Amino acid sequence: MSILTQHSVFTATLQNGPFAVLDDPPLPHPFSREAKAWVATIRHNQLLKTKYRAVRNQIFDLLGVNTFDEILALIHDKRLRANAAERAYLLLGNMFGLAGSTREVTRHLHEYARTADNVIRLLQSKVLAPYSAHIETTNEVVTAWDPVELLLMLFDERYHKKARFEAKRKLTLMALAGSIDQRERETDIAAKFLEFLEFLNAYVWSPDYKIGDLDIRYLHSVHDPRDFSCTAVQVLSEDEAGSVVLKPGEKLTLVKRRRFNDHGVDVPIYVTIRKKEPAAKVLKLLRKNEKNPASAVDDELGLMAVLNSVNDVKRFVRHLTRSAARAESFMTLEDISDTLTGGEYAGTATGSSGKTSMLKFFARTGGMRIEFILHTNRSYLNYIYQRDVAHDEYEVKRIFDTGVVEFLFPPDIYRLDLGKIRNHQLAWFRRCIEEG
């Protein structure tokens, strides 16, 4: 389900529906012409009426008021506002399972606000980098962390429409950050991440080398001018790579490789550990149109590895299951997808390409469920460089095609032609990939 439809779980934040932020705050008299016109837009939609009541009640409960008129008093009376904030901290702390004093709860709220801001900064830093100034958040909203302060901005006529939308957006992102934090505390993901690293160092990587001892190697590759897929690849040492003069259609890619020992043979492997940061998890919830991290974020722990050949990939999978047994834990492989030797990748994510080659599975072991993505040198280079497959292009497609960009930066507020920007960014990343 699209995040932009009226059936979205984020209906209250949409700018293309009855909960849109308008030029004036939503505080007209209940029998005014504006209020009657607004009621007419949802009169025949039971779902929207139910959602409206739920949103209204949440606002009243958080602020401790019974009518919209009482909100004006909170805006202009610091003492009333401070009392409402103290009450809100207690309610939110209990909702997110935050034990401790008010100071502890506010520390978490600061963290949620920081994550909300980081969601926007993450997009500004890469996918929408050329448009960073266009989508910059209003200073007063960036510095705000108190949910009551942000909520009151929505009803304060001193704030421009853009600032009021950004306050509502920040509240939405903070709520998702809170859900993610609660999930991480419940699953103890930080401790499991350390256990995962300890398992790799103790049982998977070769004991003949020190932790962090990496071989510097370069993949010298030749690419097809039609789709920039890899047609040939050679592994070079640092010295060999230093003497290479690249021709058009060639790439030199650094890989820092570890080793694992399979029956007395050291097999080189480039590994990058994948642990999603909170801002990336928030974006994934938005892309999935979900508010529940338990059902939408299933790849909190992960590892991507690159080996020389398909045979080495198979050796690593077998070595992995044997290593788990030596660690006194059975390992099962779940949701296996293998397109390394042919076939089309059946990815369900918006923007993913059927041309993607990899072995992907989840390994359940030691009380953890870890996502593994395994590549050969050639499939890894295609993952970086091939047209319609490259991860940089995929990032642009999925953030635009799922509606997340329009959700976070609605055109009526930011005055951006998002279709044109999508095509521009795809062309820009493609140019960087092939010519950079």
Interval 136-178: pLDDT, tens: 999 999 999 999 999 999 999 999 999 999 999 999 999 999 9
Residues 206-244 have pLDDT tens digits of 999 999 899 999 999 999 999 999 999 999 999 999 999
Nearest to 349, CA basis, from 284, 264, 280: 284
Instruction: Provide the β-strand partners of residue 275.
Output: 301
pLDDT above 90 covers a percentage of the chain that reads 74
Contact (Cβ atoms closer than 8 angstroms) between residue 356 and residue 381: no
Mean of the per-residue pLDDT values for the chain? 91
Q: What is the DSSP string of 287-325?
A: HHT-S-HHHH---SEEEEEEESSHHHHHHHHHHHHHHHH
Distance from the Cα of residue 124 to its chain's centroid: 14
Dihedrals φ, ψ of 258, to 5°? -95, -170
Sequence-separated contacts (24+) of 232-241 with Cβ below 8 Å: 233/377, 233/378, 233/381, 235/308, 235/377
Contact (Cβ atoms closer than 8 angstroms) between residue 87 and residue 93: no
Sequence-separated contacts (24+) of 9-14 with Cβ below 8 Å: 9/289, 9/290, 9/291, 10/172, 10/286, 10/289, 10/291, 10/407, 11/48, 11/51, 12/51, 12/55, 12/168, 12/172, 13/168, 13/169, 13/172, 13/407, 14/407
Contact (Cβ atoms closer than 8 angstroms) between residue 288 and residue 280: no
Its pTM stands at 0.91
pLDDT, position 353: 54
Is 375 a residue whose pLDDT tops 90?
yes
Helix (H, G, I), strand (E, B) or coil at 424: helix
pLDDT, position 27: 62
**When comparing pLDDT for 177 and 20, which is higher?**
177
Q: Burial of 208 by CB count in 10 Å (0-12 exposed, 13-18 middle, 19+ buried)?
A: exposed
**When comparing pLDDT for 338 and 35, which is higher?**
338
Q: How far apart, in whole angstroms, are the C-alpha atoms of residue 353 and residue 345? A: 7
Q: Which of 186-195, 235-244, 338-347 is predicted with the least confidence, judged by mean pLDDT?
A: 338-347
pLDDT bucket at 1, cuts 50 / 70 / 90: low
**Highest mean pLDDT out of 3-12, 100-109, 353-362:** 100-109
Q: Which of 26-30, 83-87, 132-136 is predicted with the least confidence, judged by mean pLDDT?
A: 26-30
pLDDT, position 351: 47
pLDDT bucket at 50, cuts 50 / 70 / 90: confident
pLDDT, position 38: 67
Q: Which structure tokens are listed for 31?
A: 């029998």
Q: Which structure tokens are listed for 112?
A: 């949620």
